[in-house]
Amino acid sequence: MASPSAPRRLPAPLLAFPAWAWLLFFFVAPVGMVLWFSFGYKPGIFGTHANDVLSFDRYIEALSPTFFATFVNTLWVGLAGTALCLVIGAPVAYWMAVKAPMNRRGLLLALVMVPFWTNFLVRTIGWQVILAPEGWLSTLLQAVGLQEGPLELLYTRTAVLIGVVYNYLPLMILPLFVAFDRVGGPLREASKDLGANRIRTFTQITVPLAQPGIVAGVLLVFIPLMGDYITATVLGGAKGNMIGQLVASQFQTAQNWALGSAMAVLLILVIALSVAAGAVLLWLITWPFRSRRRLVLGEAS
């Protein structure tokens, strides 16, 4: 009796076609068009772009002192905002994953996520109301004697930093919570049973095992933060300019798509180089710990 034939399997490239199609149409094609426009120029007052003559002139223009200062300011806000999110989010995530009662962790996660579900622009405008010179925070600080005059914080780089930390903090807390939760109590208990104190258990057990979550949180915050222009527009003004604002203004107001595309390409390069530099720095920092954990079999005791 003949055995039933095995089900025919589709080739692996065909199974992966949806993923390749998604990547091609929603990432490669748009980025390729932006890269192509960046070598063009603005043909007159009413034109947006032309590519009959290709050059690097738009990149030279994008790196002029005025725009370069905005790149530096964007990188500063991105690094500082990511670092603050990590410093604030790590203790919160650790407490939620380790110290908080198990039956309340769902409620705590909901409290973290509910503000994140509110519209991004509405949340940012809320901070504009809070930080305004005539807002309730300024009135309260003056009433308790901590501020002599109206609060002059709105439309500064500090206001932008406050806004981005508030807007992107949930993206840092969630992966950190998952990472700390997966470390598990038995490993920490075993470390304590072997004589390690709390600090040594945290630095040599919890943090190394939670490293993938830390890296994921940093990437989830840093990459979108660098391209954010809503927070800078609402809270920053002229002092809090970020490169996302300039890219948007070149496409929407100046109608200079070539220059806006060159700025966008440079922004992508800055993000890629920053991530690569961070990866190298992380590898160098954790190298002594990894070499210390290395187990050599057959070594004479």
| Per-residue H/E/C for 66-94 | HHHHHHHHHHHHHHHHHHHHHHHHHHHHH
pLDDT at 295: 47
pLDDT at 294: 53
Measured CA to CA, the distance from residue 96 to residue 184 in angstroms comes to 13
pLDDT at 5: 60
CB 77 within 8 A of CB 157: yes
Helices (H), 97-151: 105-117, 120-131, 136-143
| Structure letter (DSSP) for residue 3 | P
Q: Which amino acid is at 254?
A: A
Burial of 241 (C-beta count, 10 Å sphere; 0-12/13-18/19+): buried
CB 51 within 8 A of CB 40: yes
Q: State phi, psi for 107 to the nearest 5 degrees.
A: -65, -40
Residue pointed to by tokens 């200079």 = 256
The token duo for 117 is: 């579900």
Q: How many CA atoms lie within 13 A of 208 on its CB side?
A: 17
User: Which one, of 209, 7, 213, 176, lies nearest residue 93 by Cα?
Assistant: 176
Cβ-Cβ contacts under 8 Å for 51 (sequence gap 6 or more): 36, 37, 39, 40
Superfamily of domain 12-292: MetI-like (1.10.3720.10)
Length of the chain: 301
CB 226 within 8 A of CB 236: no
| Per-residue pLDDT tens digits of the chain, which is 301 residues long | 445 566 667 777 788 888 889 999 999 999 999 999 999 999 888 888 888 889 999 999 999 887 888 889 899 999 999 999 999 999 999 999 888 888 888 899 899 888 888 888 898 999 999 998 888 888 898 888 888 888 888 888 899 999 999 999 999 999 999 998 887 777 777 877 787 788 888 887 788 888 889 999 999 999 999 988 889 888 987 767 888 888 988 998 889 999 999 999 999 999 999 999 988 888 887 776 666 555 444 444 4
